[in-house]
Amino acid sequence: MPHIPVHPSAQKRHRQNLKRQERNRAIKSRVRNAVKVASEAIAKGESAATEKLREAARALQKAASKGTVHRNTARRQIARLSSRLHKSKTKSA
């Protein structure tokens, strides 16, 4: 059974938490999809991989600025994606 607050301030805090949870879930889903698309594009060696990486980095940075994802996590994921892209470009060249 879910927790049902009794005090008015606790009720408000619960409503706020539910709204934030919904918003964070949407943001994280958007980030995961962008990262997945970018990593697949890098793995396939697509020419649009750079653009996909840019979109993923943008989504990660937005999520980090809103506090949904920790900023170091976002930076680490961007760094790993970009290093994979650069390795694939030097390997193919």
Report whether 31 contacts 69 (CB < 8 A).
yes
User: How far is 58 from 74, CA to CA, in rounded Å?
Assistant: 10
Band (93; pLDDT cuts 50, 70, 90): low
Which pLDDT score is estimated for 1?
Answer: 64
In the block, residue with structure tokens 């994979």? 84
Identify the CATH number of the domain defined by range 8-92: 1.20.58.110
State which amino acid sits at residue 71.
Answer: R
**Per-residue pLDDT tens digits for 48-90:** 999 999 999 999 999 999 999 999 999 999 999 999 999 998 8
pTM of the predicted model as reported, rounded to 2 decimal places: 0.86
Helix spans in the chain (H): 8-44, 49-66, 71-92
Give 45's contacts (C-beta < 8 A, 6+ positions apart): 88, 92
